[in-house]
Amino acid sequence: MRVPRLPRFPRVLVAVLALALLAAGAAALTGLPGLAGDRDAAAAVRTSEQRIQVRGGPEAPGPVSLDTTLYLPETTPAPAVLVAHGFGGDKTSVDADARDLAARGFVVLAWTARGFGASTGRIALDSPDHEVADARQLVDWLSTRPEVVRDGPGDPRVGVTGGSYGGALSLLLAGYDRRIDALAPVITWNDLGQALFPEAAAATAPPVDTPARGTFGPDGVFKRGWAGFFFAQGATGSPAGRAAGADATPLTCGRFTAQICAAYTEAATTGLLSPATAELLRRSSPASVTDRITAPTLIVQGERDTLFGLDHADANARQIAAAGGTVRVVWYAGGHDGEAPGDAVRAEIADWFDHYLAGRGDAPGAGFAYAVRSELRTNRDTPTERTVVAEGYPGLPGAPPVPTESIALAGPPQPVVHPAAGSPAAITALPGVGGQLGDLGGRLAAVTSEIPGQSARFRSEPLPAPVTIVGAPRAELTVSRVPGQPGADEAVLFGRVSTVSADGRRTLLGGAVAPMRIPVPADGSPARVTITLPGVVAPVRAGDRIVVSIGTTDQGYASPDDPAVWRIELDGALSVPVVPGRAVTANTVPIGYVIGIGVVLAIALGAGVAGWIRRRRRPTRVTGDPDLPLEITGLAKTYRGGVTAVSDVSFSVERGMVLGLLGPNGAGKTTALRMLMGLVRPSAGAIRAFGEPIGPGAPVLARIGAFVEGPGFLPHLSGHENLRLYWAATGRPAAEARLQEALEIAGLGDSVHRRVGTYSQGMRQRLAIAQAMLGLPELLVLDEPTNGLDPPQIHAMREVLRRYAAAGRTVLVSSHLLAEVEQTCTHVVVMHHGRVVAAGTVEEIIAGGGAASFTVDAPQRAAAVIAALEGVRDVAVDGTLVHAELNGAPRASVVRALVTAGIDVQSAGPRRRLEDAFLQLVGEDTAP
């Protein structure tokens, strides 16, 4: 079998592109990027480096020296975690992971696997006799360390994690060593034979539909691109500490064992999986031990991964759960062809070890979460996404079955040509890039598309409603020979699922293809099979079409030498799995954005509808004072069931005021604010801003900025980028944002260009205030803006609000910090049981009970004069101060009496604080 060749231009282009991408792909393989943690604490972790000698293995019985680093937390003894690197990396690839876990209180051991970096030995692809045996000896070594907690003699409390190559090592180690107490494998394989020789033409089971096949059988299509990439990573140089030619292993094998080298040579030259290679790969596959894994297992897999697809995570989860193990599955929007796990996923890994090794936190338990990437993008073209949590992973014991939807496809039977040697070939997936080549544009995009005549396409009608595909679509395929045309005993085909938007833009779902090897009867009768297409998480919009294409070539896979022509028919419909769940905010589009965008859309829609109704009915407009920022009259809200949250609330706010809205929990403050922002419709009463009535969709809402529901930011973006994205979601012109002015008032300084994930709580609150200030609204409404801030941050926030109001704008603040309101606000409204019980300036509210203090030069004589006045009581002397309860007597009358008696009065004012007045108004037993 010959290697398929492209015409000269595409071949050179692909070679150049592949070289440019090798570094990116290697980075995806080398390690699991840093787990979320305290970077300062991680930097302070103590480390020690050492060489640990392990047994060489059957092919080389001499010792192998592993280059290791031990990371120690502040307090020991502690549980331990082994952190394994990815293929082509070394222990430095996982240094950030190790430091973060150590900062969380774990003893961590990272090492360079044999055959890589400074470690000696040869690469055996996670062989039980080599790499797995090495890891077991590292567990032995940890059991001798006094810093590590032990569950028994020779039994340390230990977990293991790693990405890709290190992920498979984690699973294999847990299968071979019962001392592993928890594990978190990331973007790794279940069956290495199936990964390198995938097969999609089989009846399968949801949700990802791992193909039902003979165990490591000879079927499948050789994944030439990824296999070659792997071999290139280990084929250069000799093992550390050994001169070239010092043993019998050919120099062409580089750092691989002779057995692995021979298996690759055979596969690359024949494109077939021999029984000997199948057995070799079987021993390096977690599938060989998943029935023995009992330690709690968190499986993390990428949704953009043409190397180890979602079917591998699916198989690992099913097999471990079937054996009685605890399994949690997380799919994230990345993988070998995308990004590394984000902060939320990395934190989940650390939390897994926190609970199952250290006994901290609630049990994460079994479950399933997946990421849905949206077409909403930031100003830097970064996609946004949301995470969905399902009741359980479908197909596991006790989990709900997977519902499916059937999408009708149309298209006649179509002949497709397989050219000699599979050349020219479509290029839909290259290592580390997957199916994203089409995004690069120009001539390259044309090369990467399907080649005319080589594929059959079947289309749906525009979808009447959106659908999110979660798993692997399935279809019934018929393949037959074309009379008079060349054929073979089997057809090697490649299935793809794409969407086509109304403007003709085509998107390959998952960036992947599903290869299939289908025996075709020589008598001319058709072959009918169920095909499983690539597992994906893909939101499909209403109005988009689904396209299933079946092609004969793909540059990433081996193809037969002989030319052939096949007739392809798809039997009517595509079955797509859907996994319902609830959206959560971690590492996703924050719910604040979702609410904000929804409110903006509701405002726009409501404004349009309201305008149409007004034009139709032409009612008489009722307006108030256009110079009054806010006027609330008789406002009430009663919910279904008769629960009254707000009753007959009336007050107004004038320009330049900073008004504090106070009240105990349940007083109705937040309900009043939500009605003010048009989020809740009042049961009675009226709200006007600048003379215009407020309600859902009211145009005047554009003059109001609000921070009511709590801030929601994308942690991986800077503060500046978050604000730009938020403003873009409003649909208003960028020039109206007045971003720099809002930032100057909020006082974030250069921090606005840092990632929000690094912000303190105080900085997040400032950013939230800046978000509410975008466009410099004339009325700013803030609900608990100082929540979670320390005293210096509260002081800074006070100055922010004062500066904002000083320019003639108005601020309405709801807060439970009475002392802060007293220092920040000019006016106060106090609510209790849904009603206003007091309103006025801060001084008026404080003085409302009549308590007063006088600073005098003769306090004893002054006390006697004040006590003699009618109605005055509770007179007390405190140094030069005289305190008294005036009971309605004006302070001016008291001052006149003191001066008449010859007593010098230096000052006179209210005695109480706002807190005293508040408690008197709402009751001593009521918390604000």
> What residue ranges do the domains of the chain occupy?
405-582, 591-623+652-680+697-842, 850-911
For residues 395 and 382, give the distance between their C-alpha atoms in angstroms, rounded to a whole number: 34
Residue-level pLDDT at 526? 92
Q: Is the pLDDT of residue 494 over 80?
A: yes
Q: Summarize the confidence of residues 133-161 as an average pLDDT.
A: 96
Residue range 872-914, pLDDT digits in tens: 877 888 888 888 877 667 777 888 888 888 888 887 776 555 5
Mean pLDDT of the chain: 79
Residue-level pLDDT at 868? 86
CA-derived radius of gyration, the chain: 35
Residue-level pLDDT at 805? 82
Please tell me whether the overall predicted TM-score, pTM, comes out greater than 0.85 for this model: no
Task: Please give the residue that has the higher pLDDT: either 27 or 225.
Answer: 225
Q: Is the pLDDT of residue 865 over 80?
A: yes
- For the four alpha carbons of 469, 475, 481 and 483, in that order, the dihedral sign comes to negative
Residue-level pLDDT at 216? 30
Label residue 788 by pLDDT band (50, 70, 90).
low
Token pair for 88: 């082509």
Q: Is the pLDDT of residue 680 over 90?
A: no
Q: Summarize the confidence of residues 253-258 as an average pLDDT.
A: 87
Residue range 76-102, pLDDT digits in tens: 999 999 999 999 899 999 998 899 999
355 and 363 in contact (C-beta within 8 Å)?
yes
Q: Summarize the confidence of residues 412-439 as an average pLDDT.
A: 75
Cβ neighbour number for residue 40 with a 10 Å cutoff: 8
Label residue 589 by pLDDT band (50, 70, 90).
very low
What fold, for 850-911? Answer: Alpha-Beta Plaits (3.30.70)
Q: Which of the residue ranges 216-220, 333-337, 444-448 would you say has the lowest mean pLDDT?
A: 444-448
Q: Summarize the confidence of residues 12-32 as an average pLDDT.
A: 43
Residue range 479-488, pLDDT digits in tens: 999 998 998 8
Q: Is the pLDDT of residue 849 over 70?
A: no
Q: Is the pLDDT of residue 769 over 70?
A: yes
Residue-level pLDDT at 83? 97
Q: Is the pLDDT of residue 146 over 80?
A: yes
Token pair for 758: 């690094």
55 and 61 in contact (C-beta within 8 Å)?
yes
Task: Compute the residue count for the chain.
Answer: 928
Q: Name the residue type at position 402.
A: V
Q: Summarize the confidence of residues 576-593 as an average pLDDT.
A: 60
CATH topology agreement for domains 405-582 and 850-911: no
The three-point CA angle 599-600-606 to 5° equals: 85
Q: Residue 494 belongs to what H/E stretch?
A: strand 490-500
Q: Report which of 575, 577, 549, 534 is spatially closest to residue 223, judged by C-alpha positions.
A: 534
Which residue do the tokens 């003379």 mark?
Answer: 691
What fold, for 405-582? Answer: Jelly Rolls (2.60.120)
Q: Is the pLDDT of residue 332 over 80?
A: yes
Q: Is the pLDDT of residue 625 over 80?
A: no
Q: Is the pLDDT of residue 339 over 70?
A: yes
Residue range 547-560, pLDDT digits in tens: 999 999 998 898 89
Cβ neighbour number for residue 200 with a 10 Å cutoff: 29
Residue-level pLDDT at 218? 46
Q: Summarize the confidence of residues 679-690 as an average pLDDT.
A: 87
Q: Is the pLDDT of residue 537 over 50?
A: yes
For residues 569 and 415, give the distance between their C-alpha atoms in angstroms, rounded to a whole number: 9
Residue-level pLDDT at 599? 40
Residue-level pLDDT at 41? 57
Residue-level pLDDT at 433? 56
Q: Which of the residue ranges 274-278, 320-324, 914-918 would you say has the lowest mean pLDDT?
A: 914-918
Q: Which of the residue ranges 152-156, 266-270, 751-755, 922-926 would you say has the lowest mean pLDDT?
A: 922-926
Q: Name the residue type at position 639.
A: Y
Residue range 387-410, pLDDT digits in tens: 888 878 887 777 777 889 999 999
- What's the N-to-C CA distance of the chain in angstroms? 80
Label residue 826 by pLDDT band (50, 70, 90).
confident
Residue-level pLDDT at 571? 86
Residue-level pLDDT at 730? 74
372 and 539 in contact (C-beta within 8 Å)?
yes
Looking at the chain, the whole-number percentage of residues with pLDDT higher than 90 is 33
Residue-level pLDDT at 481? 93
DSSP state of 461: P
The three-point CA angle 468-469-474 to 5° equals: 155
Q: Report which of 151, 174, 187, 136 is spatially closest to residue 27, judged by C-alpha positions.
A: 187
Label residue 252 by pLDDT band (50, 70, 90).
confident
Residue-level pLDDT at 236? 64
CA dihedral 747, 39, 368, 81 (to 10 degrees): -170
CA distances from 146 to 77, 138, 150, 220 (A): 7, 15, 9, 50
Q: Is the pLDDT of residue 203 over 50?
A: no
What fold, for 591-623+652-680+697-842? Answer: Rossmann fold (3.40.50)
